[in-house]
């Protein structure tokens, strides 16, 4: 749409004053036809000023309204202010609301009564504490656009099927720790991941442990993320039973980069340290530690003193305890 053909040139002039070019204005009108007939003095200008007042930087506003032109036609007192005021009760920092709107401006188009209040009530019923509600919603404001019945409830039921509890509080903690997990498809992503882990040999309690402590793992794509890591462990000589023990002991082993994390560590263990991969099965947290700052450094310190010890003794303690345990001067710290 050519800008010159837009009926309401007052809107065009206002947007140009704010730094938007013809191409952006044309896209905005195409996205939101009501903007073409909007009253600049009654809607666009007051809304723009209000967004600035609540902390959205002037330099960011043009790109935000270009992405969501609806912001300029919403009722300021009917929609925008009530939502901002309610969100403010959930925020913990002064700029929380502005950052949330910048990430997901469509949040202001939703009704407090029809969307926000039911959403808060829903999360309260599944164990999310009131003081944690802000982190959940403000970190993932797209929750506001999801259907409780069709989108959120199935995710909750999925976690309940893994043994998590509403009353025990672990379900609520999982949702707060990983708010974005609510956006994934149960059938398309969460169930296939759990089924993959189950086929590897993980039992129900181990799967529950992953869901509680590492819920983000369940969001990973089986083919792109998990299978390549399992295949690497197999190529490295680990049997399927051993792989299960490693995953159970340190689940993020399936999300680490093979090239930059797993491969270098296994190579150092076998080729330099001359140790058996069986030791990793006994101490899966081996993959947690940094190669240079912990594994390689401590190996060199022990080699200088001609000390032999297990991976657990070598890596599990803090630097200070390591120095004391093996009589190493702290000035030699990496």
Do 302 and 207 reside in the same domain of the chain? no
pLDDT value at position 12? 86
| Residue 250, in any domain of the structure | yes
User: In angstroms, rounded to a whole number, what is the distance separating the alpha carbons of residues 107 and 101?
Assistant: 7
- Residue percentage of the chain with pLDDT more than 70: 96
| Residue 306, in any domain of the structure | yes
pLDDT value at position 334? 45
pLDDT confidence bin for 6, thresholds 50/70/90: low
- Domain range spanning residue 57? 1-109
pLDDT confidence bin for 135, thresholds 50/70/90: confident
Res 1 pLDDT > 70: no
pLDDT confidence bin for 90, thresholds 50/70/90: confident
User: In angstroms, rounded to a whole number, what is the distance separating the alpha carbons of residues 72 and 38?
Assistant: 8
Do 256 and 311 reside in the same domain of the chain? no
pLDDT value at position 111? 93
User: In angstroms, rounded to a whole number, what is the distance separating the alpha carbons of residues 209 and 225?
Assistant: 20
Residue-wise pLDDT for 203-223, tens only, equals 999 999 999 999 999 999 999
pLDDT value at position 333? 47
Res 21 pLDDT > 70: yes
Do 197 and 256 reside in the same domain of the chain? no
Give the angle 274-280-284 at the CA atoms, nearest 5°. 150
Res 3 pLDDT > 70: no
| Residue 74, in any domain of the structure | yes
Residue-wise pLDDT for 46-73, tens only, equals 999 999 999 999 999 999 999 999 999 9
CATH number of the domain within which 58 lies: 1.25.70.10
Q: Which of 67, 85, 109 is a domain's end point? A: 109
pLDDT confidence bin for 130, thresholds 50/70/90: confident
Do 202 and 253 reside in the same domain of the chain? no
Q: Which of 109, 138, 160 is a domain's end point? A: 109
Do 74 and 128 reside in the same domain of the chain? no
Residue-wise pLDDT for 151-182, tens only, equals 999 999 999 999 999 887 799 999 999 999 99
Q: Which of 162, 187, 219 is a domain's end point? A: 219
DSSP 110-179: S-IIIIIHHHHHHHHHTT--GGGHHHHHHH-GGGGGS-IIIIIHHHHHHHHHTT--STTSHHHHHHHH-G
Ramachandran area for residue 19 (φ above 0: left; ψ -120 to 50: alpha; else beta): left
Contact (Cβ atoms closer than 8 angstroms) between residue 247 and residue 215:
no
Do 1 and 47 reside in the same domain of the chain? yes
| Residue 161, in any domain of the structure | yes
Closest CA relative to residue 151, chosen from 123, 107, 182: 182
Q: Count CA atoms within 13 Å of residue 179 on its CB side.
A: 17
Sign of CA dihedral 81, 50, 54, 179: positive
Contact (Cβ atoms closer than 8 angstroms) between residue 18 and residue 47:
no
Overall domain count for the chain: 4
| Residue 226, in any domain of the structure | no
Res 226 pLDDT > 70: yes
Do 3 and 105 reside in the same domain of the chain? yes
Do 53 and 153 reside in the same domain of the chain? no
Do 105 and 117 reside in the same domain of the chain? no
Do 212 and 153 reside in the same domain of the chain? yes
Closest CA relative to residue 292, chosen from 313, 320, 312, 272: 272
Do 78 and 124 reside in the same domain of the chain? no
Q: What share of the chain is helix, strand, coil (3-state, %, to 5)?
A: 75, 0, 25
| Residue 225, in any domain of the structure | no
| Residue 228, in any domain of the structure | no
pLDDT confidence bin for 331, thresholds 50/70/90: low
Contact (Cβ atoms closer than 8 angstroms) between residue 115 and residue 144:
yes
Do 105 and 115 reside in the same domain of the chain? no
| Residue 280, in any domain of the structure | yes
Res 269 pLDDT > 90: yes
């Amino acid at each position: 749409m050519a800008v010159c053909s837009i009926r309401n040139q007052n809107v065009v002039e206002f947007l140009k004053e704010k730094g938007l070019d013809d191409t952006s204005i044309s896209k905005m009108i195409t996205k939101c036809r009501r903007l073409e007939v909007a009253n600049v003095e009654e809607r666009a200008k007051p809304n723009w000023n209000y967004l600035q007042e609540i902390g959205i930087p002037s330099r960011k506003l043009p790109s935000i309204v270009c992405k969501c032109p609806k912001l300029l036609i919403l009722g300021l007192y009917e929609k925008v202010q009530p939502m901002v005021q309610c969100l403010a009760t959930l925020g913990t920092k002064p700029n929380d609301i502005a950052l949330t709107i910048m990430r997901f401006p469509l949040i202001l188009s939703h009704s407090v009564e029809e969307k926000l209040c039911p959403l808060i009530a829903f999360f309260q019923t599944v164990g999310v504490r009131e003081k944690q509600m802000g982190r959940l919603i403000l970190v993932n404001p797209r929750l506001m656009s999801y259907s409780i019945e069709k989108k959120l409830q199935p995710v909750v039921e999925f976690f309940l099927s893994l043994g998590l509890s509403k009353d025990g509080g672990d379900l609520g903690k999982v949702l707060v720790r990983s708010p974005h997990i609510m956006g994934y498809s149960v059938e398309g992503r969460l169930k296939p991941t759990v089924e993959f882990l189950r086929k590897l040999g993980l039992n129900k309690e181990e799967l529950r442990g992953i869901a509680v402590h590492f819920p983000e793992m369940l969001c990973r794509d089986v083919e792109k993320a998990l299978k390549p890591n399992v295949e690497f462990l197999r190529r490295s000589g680990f049997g399927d039973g051993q792989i299960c023990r490693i995953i159970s002991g340190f689940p993020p082993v399936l999300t680490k980069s093979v090239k930059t994390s797993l491969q270098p560590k296994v190579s150092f263990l076998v080729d330099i340290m001359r140790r058996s991969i069986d030791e990793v099965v006994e101490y899966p947290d081996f993959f947690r530690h940094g190669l240079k700052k912990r594994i390689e450094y401590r190996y060199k310190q022990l080699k200088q003193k001609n000390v032999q010890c297990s991976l657990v003794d070598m890596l599990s303690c803090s630097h200070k305890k390591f120095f004391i345990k093996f009589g190493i001067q702290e000035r030699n710290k990496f």
